Structure 1
Amino acid sequence: METSEASHQIIADLLAARTGQHLTESRRWRVNSALAGIFRDHGISNVDQLVCLLAAPRTGPDSPDLSQDVVEALLNNETYFFRDKPTFDQLPHEILPDLARRRAAVKRLSIWSAGCSTGQELYSLAMLFAEQQERWRGWTIELLGTDVSHRAISAARSGLYSQFEVQRGLGVTQMLRHFDEAAPGWQIRENTRRMVQFRQHNVLGPHPGRQPFDLVLCRNVLLYFDRATRTAAFDRLASAVMPDGFLMLGAGETVVGQTERFVPAPSRASFFEPLQAAREARHLRFG
């Protein structure tokens, strides 16, 4: 094994150990570009030199954690408001009304955005509820976003986005309704920010709620796991979804052939139900 190949494997092992994500051969092409900022900050030019720095002991308790900086740089934080709109539109038109009927007695909904990145997905949900205030008056709506990346969560909590970020997925009316212009970009308004909470969390750990959620969004997160890790993640997600709740995956993701804990929700692309609930529903329909 060439030295650079061994160094890439060390970086891949670090990412897997910290996040569960696997740096496959098809993703290794982006390592150098992703780490360019770290190379520049430390005056180095390649992964071999970086691995040498990682092996060096930290000089004190307050010295920067270079390994965490490497992990953060390798994470893919791609997201935008109302991402995959045809799929996302099922939420206000089908999924949320369905859940509202199921929770009419308690008037409480809890939603978890797992792998929320810099927050656009969860804020998109907050906007949906804010724009239907009369429909949800008297309800308790809990919106939680989590991500393994500390930097992403910090950005999400700030609610400050660039002009480019707010234009991705938002119309002008929505932008002006929910944001105020603030250097160096746009600040989401306080009444919308108060609707959400963000927390650093790994989807492979115990779910972060006091009880299971009515709806879990975990879009384009499992793509980066190998099969065994993906199975473990589905097991964790199964414990996080109410028996009659929903799991939403990315447009290119499915549970078919991946897990027996969920089945596709009828006529709802990218939405899945816990297996036991689906069996009970079929029994009620057909006896």
Structure 2
Amino acid sequence: MTMALPLAPRGSAVATIVALLEARTGQQLDAGRTWRIDSALQPMLRERGLATLDELVARMSADTERGLGDAVVDALLNQETSFFRDAGVLELVAGAAGDMMRETPDRKVRLWSAACSTGQEPLSLAMLFHEHHLATGQAIPEIRATDISARALRRARDARYTQFEVQRGLPIRRLMTWFDQRGELWEAKAELRYRILYSQQNLIAEPPMAGRFDIILCRNLLMYLSPPMRRRVLDRIACSLRPGGVLVLGAGETVIGHCDALVPSERYRGLYRPALR
């Protein structure tokens, strides 16, 4: 996505980059966290032979390098994730999917992992669904996964992870069952990789995903957005949920005070459903 470089309110390179990040992603970087800019962009400066952030901003403003603004934003995105993060929540999601498949056996249950980062969340769900399928014969839901970062999506599609990454939340039994070792990396087996359809998606700027979903996970994104952007994202997600569907947010996130189209689910504690109209 191409967008004009926003002007910085106080004229500094840091302010320009903060404004660029918010304009393109809706994510805010407060004054106490601007140290991330320097650390995240140092590799980019070295690769391009630039000495300072001011030189980087000047090159972006001059449009001398196509896609440089996108690369800067991508480098600043927080891609923190792990396998089976908040495992109890994922078990709840798998249980909800099972309920939906039993109650609507005539159609495919659809799940969307939004802001999926490097793929650990959708892969964790794919493992759970496969295990439930092997135990019960129940069908496996359709899994879509999106992220704004092209770099993160490349890694998600490759589904290759370091020893450190697989040790974060992935029990050894599941590692040995669902991954093959490729040199120093671990690659998810084909039956997991092919279950997930990845695509690039900017939740604040692009139309919602095609079709409607039974379960949408959008965890630990809202905390980085301004209140107006939270409302925009939640309203779009609400439009993408089927009646009876549920939204899963991060542990510190809520729809309350941000969106009238979603309300707490009475059936699944901690999840949200479309409001009755």
Q: TM-score, normalised by structure 2?
A: 0.90
| Change in 2 beyond 3 A, CA 1:136/1:21 | farther
**Native 8 Å contact 1:218 1:247 kept in 2:** yes
Q: What is the CA–CA distance in structure 2 between the aligned matches of 1:129 and 1:84, rounded to whole Å?
A: 16
Q: Secondary structure at the match of 1:199?
A: strand
| Change in 2 beyond 3 A, CA 1:136/1:196 | farther
**Native 8 Å contact 1:150 1:200 kept in 2:** yes
Task: From 45, 55, 59, give the equivalent of 2:61.
Answer: 55
Partner of 1:77: 79
Partner of 1:244: 244
Q: What is the CA–CA distance in structure 1 between the aligned matches of 2:173 and 2:226, rounded to whole Å?
A: 41
Q: What is the CA–CA distance in structure 1 between the aligned matches of 2:16 and 2:81, rounded to whole Å?
A: 28
How does 1:82-93 map onto structure 2 within 5 Å? Answer: 82-92=84-94
Partner of 2:52: 46
- Percent identical among aligned pairs is 38
| Change in 2 beyond 3 A, CA 1:138/1:83 | closer
Report the count of equivalent residues.
Answer: 269
Q: Secondary structure at the match of 1:255?
A: coil
* 2:28 aligned with 1:22: yes
**Native 8 Å contact 1:253 1:270 kept in 2:** no
Partner of 2:153: 153
* Code of the aligned partner of 2:254: T
Q: Secondary structure at the match of 1:245?
A: strand
| Change in 2 beyond 3 A, CA 1:100/1:57 | closer
* Code of the aligned partner of 1:81: F
Q: Deviations over 1:177-200 (max 9, x none)?
A: 000000230011111111111001
Q: TM-score, normalised by structure 1?
A: 0.87
Q: What is the CA–CA distance in structure 1 between the aligned matches of 2:172 and 2:189, rounded to whole Å?
A: 15
Partner of 1:285: none
| Change in 2 beyond 3 A, CA 1:77/1:57 | same
Q: Deviations over 1:205-262 (max 9, x none)?
A: 22223x2100000001111110111111111001111111000000110111111111
Partner of 2:255: 255
How does 1:260-279 map onto structure 2 within 5 Å? Answer: 260-266=260-266, 268-276=268-276
**Native 8 Å contact 2:212 2:241 kept in 1:** yes
How does 1:1-287 map onto structure 2 within 5 Å? Answer: 6-58=12-64, 65-92=67-94, 94-104=95-105, 106-134=106-134, 137=137, 139=139, 141-204=141-204, 205-209=206-210, 211-266=211-266, 268-276=268-276
Q: What is the CA–CA distance in structure 2 between the aligned matches of 1:136 and 1:52, rounded to whole Å?
A: 59
Q: Deviations over 1:47-72 (max 9, x none)?
A: 222211212232xxxx5522111011
* Code of the aligned partner of 2:114: A
Q: What is the CA–CA distance in structure 1 between the aligned matches of 2:266 and 2:186, rounded to whole Å?
A: 39
**Native 8 Å contact 2:130 2:140 kept in 1:** no
Q: Deviations over 1:65-101 (max 9, x none)?
A: 2211101110001111111123222223x42233223
Q: What is the CA–CA distance in structure 1 between the aligned matches of 2:163 and 2:156, rounded to whole Å?
A: 16
Shift of 1:269: 4.2
| Change in 2 beyond 3 A, CA 1:230/1:110 | same
Q: What is the CA–CA distance in structure 1 between the aligned matches of 2:137 and 2:131, rounded to whole Å?
A: 11
**Native 8 Å contact 2:178 2:188 kept in 1:** yes
Q: What is the CA–CA distance in structure 2 between the aligned matches of 1:107 and 1:259, rounded to whole Å?
A: 29
Runs of 4+ off more than 3 Å:
2-5, 134-140, 267-270
Q: Secondary structure at the match of 2:50?
A: coil
Partner of 2:4: none
**Native 8 Å contact 2:144 2:196 kept in 1:** yes
- What RMSD in Å do the two structures reach over aligned CA positions? 2.1
| Change in 2 beyond 3 A, CA 1:77/1:134 | same
* Code of the aligned partner of 2:166: V
Q: What is the CA–CA distance in structure 2 between the aligned matches of 1:239 and 1:83, rounded to whole Å?
A: 26
